[in-house]
Chain A
Amino acid sequence: AQSVAQPEDQVNVAEGNPLTVKCTYSVSGNPYLFWYVQYPNRGLQFLLKYITGDNLVKGSYGFEAEFNKSQTSFHLKKPSALVSDSALYFCAVRAPSLNFGKGTSLLVTP
């Protein structure tokens, strides 16, 4: 089965510091991986995806993700966190629906 795991329930980071939200995957064949963000009482917003090609994928709001085949990881990163980045982040794999991780709550403090 195609699945992803997000090992951290919550990540805390100070504003201006780099942030990383972790995701590992377990798939057969080529993985199609996605990151979504959910703000309180809102739907999910697409951030970025990896289909093929460059291992570093750039997305919305300054986020990027690094696909690492040997470590089966697809971590979400941002060089400088903003308080407004505080939200719930979901990693997902297409199978062909989206199989989501349980989510990681990101808290950026001023």
Chain B
Amino acid sequence: DSGVTQTPKHLITATGQRVTLRCSPRSGDLSVYWYQQSLDQGLQFLIQYYNGEERAKGNILERFSAQQFPDLHSELNLSSLELGDSALYFCASSVAGTSRNEQFFGPGTRLTVL
């Protein structure tokens, strides 16, 4: 158990809908990262927050947004969902936002868009 929690574990929804994925980082970790894992794209970095502020952006679509709250939990919002958004979404956390720190991953949320 990495100490990173994600809810829900599974999410099934329809095209055009909006969903929110939630992540709680390990105790003491200030940085949260979101990743998308799919068969065709592999593991892709979406966005990073550090102590409530956006730190880095990766291949995140404009339909997707995220935020980190004062208690350091984070939410990833996916809207106008398309079939291709079906994937495993991981949250990870690290102590700081620097390159030296390893990231600890949650169990993921499996999103299925029908």
Contacts and interface: CB of A to CB of B under 8 A. Distances in A.
B2 interface: yes
Interface residues of A, number: 20
A46 B103 contact: yes
A102 interface: yes
A96 B99 contact: yes
Interface string B90-109: 10100001111011111110
B103 to A, nearest CB: 6
A97 B106 contact: no
Interface magnitude class on chain B? 20 to 34
A74 interface: no
Contact of A98 (B33, B98, B106): B33
7 contacts: A32-B99, A32-B100, A43-B4, A51-B100, A97-B33, A97-B48, A100-B42
Interface of B: 2, 4, 33, 35, 42-45, 48, 55-56, 58, 90, 92, 97-100, 102-108
